[in-house]
Amino acid sequence: MSTLTLSNIAVRYSGQPRPAVEGASLSVGQGEFVVLTGRSGCGKSTLLNAAAGLVVPEHGEVSVDGRPIEGPGADRAVVFQSDALFPWFSARDNVAFALRVRGIGERQRHALANELLRRVRLDGLGDKPVWEMSGGMRQRVGLARALAAEPDFLLMDEPLGALDALTRERMQTLLLDIWAPGNLGVLMVTHGIEEALLLGTRVVVMAPDPGRIALSFEAGFSRRYAAGEPVRSIKADPAFTTARAELADAIFEGEPA
Amino acid sequence: MTLLQAERGRRDLAEPERATVLWPRSDTPRRELSSRTISAITILAALLAWTLVTRLGLVAPLFLPPPQDVLAKFWTVASQGFIDATLAQHLLASLGRVLAALVAATLVGIPIGLAIGASRVGRGIFDPVLEFLRPIPPLAYLPLIIIWFGIGESAKVLVIAIAMVAPIALSTASGVRNVQQDRLSAARSLGATRRQVIRFVVLPSALPSILTGLRIALGAGWTTLVAAELVAATRGLGFMIQSAAQFLVTDVVVMGILVIAAVAFVLELGLRFVERRLVPWAGRD
């Protein structure tokens, strides 16, 4: 079981007086679902990009099982809010690209990509051009592409941010289903308070100016889902409602009303 | 009339039919002519004016032959030829040169554009070269090409190709520079090598821009054609026009100009078709 560790990360973008993130430490174990949340501009995405290796921190270190990372890598697959799909490829070829990069032969790629598309509930849509797909479908292709890398960690930057409410709920259960077997460590950025609580085994609240971790707590709702309890019954639990109000308070703490 | 209104009026004229409506008009829904219809009317009006001034004898046929003479000449040259070659032979000679130049310019221009767009060193090397070549009119470097490469076919193709390299390279470079950062990040985080990123992400991303560059290059190529055929050509539309001009056969000159325009138009349509087939996602993503 691997662990992704960020220790004392500081990131400063050139030309910015204040660091985007300062003194942030965090770890994600395989089987964990860590949610980063907080107000706009608090450095959530920056921290995630540092974990991905797409942003190089000014201070601090990102490591996997004690070994410092060297840039981006397939062990930490990324799902982007913009979906970042390749429109010149069909849905299947987008997924197969990740397999090709791993050196998997053409015939196997085809079958594996189909299997991955089935996992994200896009069965039989492999030939569809991605630019003809809806936002939810595209995000699922992006998810299948990330899974094709067979990562230990899945890093998702507001993957559901641009989706409508109904699609979003479906995607939440899909993400839970993918995480539930326990062999993936997930780090996800979201603005959604309810989403953070429902999905996270741990919720990390960040605060801005400079971006830092303000609060981190364990949440058990996603484990209850993994154990078989339906989402509706979890959301109806008064404990969920209370936790939701507390999380909202924590996120907006210190913000002038 | 304010400047903005003037600008608006100008844009309305230039706007293609399916253009984004920047300033929706709140007028009453009176029936409006489509810009395509207006274009057709413009062309007909020009033809009519041409017919009238020649019919009424306002301009001597030496300066402007009537349309029916030009049309008649078209058939004569097409069937019997002009200066030892039929129209089709002239056309094929020119088309061959322009297309050969296009292939050569593409093979050179795309790698250069890639280098400019993707690497600091590449930009440092090729940017000044292109900026030097781009504004020079083909007629200016033609003599040098003749001194260096003689008067053979390759010199003609080279003159046209030089005019084509810059638009292709610059469009490629701009396409490469505008690759979405997220797509590059996605490919890199999947573990793609630099080579794979260029082949599967950067080049396809830049393809719409490259195709635009090819279109501009074809235009530039036709523009250069006449200059290229100034020297020791025995066939070609440009050669045909020049020979005709020397003998004051104005109807052949006008016919040649119209044929060049028509061929350029057909090629443009062809490339647009290729664009729709090759990059249907462009602009929708």
Structural domain includes residue A80:
no
Last-in-domain residue among A150, A168, A203: A150
Name the CA radius of gyration of chain A, rounded. Answer: 18
Alpha-carbon dihedral B107, B111, B113, B114, rounded to 10 degrees: 150
Three-state DSSP state, B197: helix
Same domain? For A162 and A128 the reply is no
Residue B20 in this model has a pLDDT that exceeds 80: no
> pLDDT tier at B6 (50, 70, 90 boundaries)?
very low
Same domain, A40 and A128: no
Between CA A52 and CA A188 the distance in angstroms is 12
Instruction: Check if the beta carbon of residue B227 is closer than 8 Å to that of residue B139.
Output: yes
Q: Is A200 a domain residue? A: yes
Residue A127 lies in a domain: yes
Distance from the B35 Cα atom to the nearest Cα atom in chain A, whole angstroms: 30
Residues A155 and A201 both lie in one domain: yes
Q: Which of A125, A150, A175 is a domain's end point?
A: A150
How far is it, in rounded angstroms, from Cα B144 to Cα B188? 47
Mean pLDDT of chain A: 93
CATH number of the domain that residue A247 is part of:
3.40.50.300
Token pair recorded at residue B214? 């090819």
| Distant-in-sequence contacts of B78-86, Cβ < 8 A, 24+ apart | B82/B240, B82/B243, B82/B244, B82/B249, B82/B252, B83/B234, B83/B239, B83/B240, B83/B243, B84/B234, B85/B234, B85/B235, B85/B240
Region B161-186: what's the mean pLDDT?
A: 95
Q: Are strands A185-189 and A59-64 parallel, antiparallel or unpaired?
A: unpaired
My answer on whether A132 and A194 are in the same domain is no
Asked whether residue A82 is assigned to any structural domain, the reply reads: no
Q: Which domain holds residue A112?
A: 87-150
* Residue type, position A80, single letter: F
Interface residue of A86, A104, A133 to substitute, partner B, most B CBs within 10 Å: A86
* Average pLDDT of every residue of chain B: 88
Confidence (pLDDT) at A194: 93
How far is the C-alpha of B99 from the C-alpha of A191, rounded, in Å?
Answer: 55
CB contact under 8 A, A131 and B182: no
pLDDT beyond 50 at B10: no
| Of A254 and B97, the one with more pLDDT | B97
User: A200 to each of A106, A127, B63, how far by Cα in Å?
Assistant: 37, 34, 83
Q: Is B219 on the interface with A (CB under 8 A)?
A: no
A61/A158 same-domain check = yes
> Percentage of chain B with pLDDT > 90?
71
What does the alpha-carbon distance between residue B8 and residue B24 come to, in Å, rounded to a whole number? 11
* A171 and A140 assigned to the same domain: no
Q: What is the mean pLDDT of residues B249-259?
A: 93
Mutate: best of A55, A101, A127, A128, partner B, most B CBs <10 A = A101
Among A123, A150, A177, the domain-final residue is A150
Query: pLDDT value at position A40?
Result: 87
Residue A242 domain-assigned (yes or no): yes
| Among A85, A35, A91, residue whose Cα is nearest residue A250 | A35
Do A194 and A139 fall within a single domain? no
Say if CB B159 and CB B169 are below 8 A apart: no
Q: Do B185 and A84 touch (CB under 8 A)?
A: yes
Q: Are residues A191 and A137 in the same domain?
A: no
For tokens 């060049």, name the residue. B260
pLDDT of residue A257: 56
A34 domain-assigned: yes
Residue A133 is encoded by which pair of tokens? 């797909």
Instruction: Please check whether residues A25 and A124 belong to one and the same domain.
Output: no
pLDDT computed for residue A1 by the predictor: 82
Mean pLDDT of A114-136: 93
Asked if residue A11 belongs to a domain, the reply is yes
Read off the pLDDT of residues B44-89 as tens digits, 9 standing for 90 and up.
Answer: 999 999 999 998 989 888 899 999 999 999 999 999 989 889 999 9
User: What is the distance in angstroms between the Cα of B192 and the nearest Cα belonging to chain A?
Assistant: 5
Q: Which of B259, B89, B93, B228 is nearest to B164 (CA)?
A: B228
Q: Is A23 helix (H, G, I), strand (E, B) or coil?
A: strand
What would the mean pLDDT of A26-47 be, rounded to a whole number? 93
**B12 has a pLDDT exceeding 50:** no
Cα–Cα distance for residue pair B57/A193, rounded to 1 Å = 84
Q: What gap in Å lies between CA B42 and CA B40, rounded to an integer? A: 5
Domain architecture of chain B: domains with CATH:
94-232 (1.10.3720.10)
- The total of other beta-carbon atoms located within 10 Å of residue B67's CB is 17
- Indicate the range of A157-166, A227-236, B5-14, B212-221 predicted with least confidence: B5-14
Q: Residues A71, A156: one domain?
A: yes
Distance from CA of A92 to the nearest CA of B (A): 14
B89-126 pLDDT, tens digit per residue, is: 999 999 999 999 999 999 999 999 999 998 999 999 99
> In total, how many domains does chain A have?
2
Arithmetic mean of pLDDT, A19-47: 93
Q: What are phi and psi of A217, to 5 degrees?
A: -145, 155
Instruction: Give the confidence band of A49 by pLDDT, cuts at 50, 70, 90.
Output: very high
Residue B271 banded pLDDT, cuts 50, 70, 90 = very high
Q: Do residue A49 and residue A161 come from a single domain?
A: yes
Q: For the segment B217-243, what is each residue's pLDDT rounded down to a tens digit?
A: 999 998 898 888 877 788 999 999 999
Q: Is residue A162 domain-shared with residue A234, that is, in the same domain?
A: yes
ipTM for the complex shown: 0.90
The answer on pLDDT for B1 being more than 70 is no
HSE, CB side, 13 Å, CA atoms: give it for residue B188: 16
The confidence score (pLDDT) of residue B19 equals: 55
Tell me: the pLDDT tens digits for A174-219?
A: 999 999 998 999 999 999 999 999 999 999 999 988 899 999 999 9
Residue B187: the pLDDT is 95
Predicted pLDDT of residue B14: 44
- DSSP letter at A69 equals P
